[in-house]
Amino acid sequence: MYDEFARIYDTLMQDVPYKKWLLRINEWIKAFGISKPNGSDEKNLILDLGCGTGTFTEMMARLGYDMIGIDSSLEMLNVAMAKKDESGSKILYLCQDMRKMELYSTVGTIICICDSLNYLLSEKDILATFGQVKNYLYPGGIFIFDFNTKYKYEAVIGHATIAENHEDCAFVWENYYHPDACLNEYDLTFFIKGKDGRFDRYQETHVQKGYELGEIRCLLKKAGLDIITIIDDDSEKAPTDESERIVIVAKSAYKEFPRVL
């Protein structure tokens, strides 16, 4: 859960390639999906799972898509709501657990990016979420998501310490990887400048689980979802054993839509 960290999340995530993701996802929706900008029915609704502070949700809304954002952190949603008030967008935000989400209708597209799925710490939780995705996808709708791999936690960020200093905040991000459970623990210490000019100190601990592509393939199949395409997020080519983030497009299993093996 994001508590006080939500207040500085956007500052510390300035390097996230949202624009690249936006272009890619918009092209995939056009190529594989059924949602269209400025539409008025269920198939044109897009759900952003794990929407956080709503940065990407707002970007999709500016393209004309009818957006719903779901996150389990009320603090993150408070930031998203402030952005909505400023932009005047009509995004519907819901504070829900993605494993047990409840919507008023089906949606044409579901998005879950920026390793939100890695906060689900068991295959049971992933399967429950995939089941909800299958349940709420309009016929022909697509599911676009990413996940951090075991390799990323083991070889890249596990046991690394990251620190940044900004004008109004600073943080120290310590990683501890637990190989037996494939869990990466983030111990965050951050400092936020108050109105009096003094910096207040906060601490939070977050845990994510790394998954392998084979595991995700199996869980998608169990949930009744077929893969359309898979890429390495960085290279945008086929994933390798050293892929750090993998992106997948899937849809409900239909005989007339061939699987990508």
Q: Mind listing the pLDDT tens digit for each residue in 12-30?
A: 888 999 999 999 999 999 9
- The CATH number given to whatever domain includes residue 58 is 3.40.50.150
60 & 88 share domain:
yes
Residue 116 lies in a domain: yes
pLDDT category at 260 given cuts 50, 70, 90 is very low
Q: Do 244 and 176 share a structural domain?
A: no
16 inside domain:
yes
Are 81 and 93 in contact, with CB atoms under 8 Å apart? yes
pLDDT at 241 over 80: yes
**Is residue 261 in a domain?**
no
Q: For the chain, give the mean pLDDT.
A: 94
Judge if 70 and 51 occupy the same domain: yes
Q: Tell me the per-residue pLDDT of 164-173, one tens digit each, with 9 for 90 and over.
A: 999 899 999 9
- Domain of residue 27 covers 4-148+211-252
Closest CA to 180 of 153, 198, 205: 153
**Per-residue H/E/C for 71-120:** ECCHHHHHHHHHHHHHHCCCCEEEECCHHHCCCCCCEEEEEECCCHHHHC
Q: What is the structure's pLDDT at 3?
A: 79
Residue 77 lies in a domain: yes
Residue 36 sits in the same domain as residue 162: no
d(CA 261, CA 259): 6
Got the DSSP string for 26-54?
Answer: HHHHHHH----TT--SGGGEEEEET-TTS
| CA dist 201 → 151, 156, 185, 190, 208 (Å) | 32, 28, 20, 6, 23
In this prediction, residue 1 carries a pLDDT of: 66
How many separate domains does the chain show?
2
pLDDT tens, residue by residue, 114-138: 999 999 999 999 999 999 999 999 9
What's the average model confidence in pLDDT over 168-181?
94
- Check: pTM over 0.85? Answer yes or no: yes
* φ and ψ at residue 82, rounded to 5 degrees: -65, -40
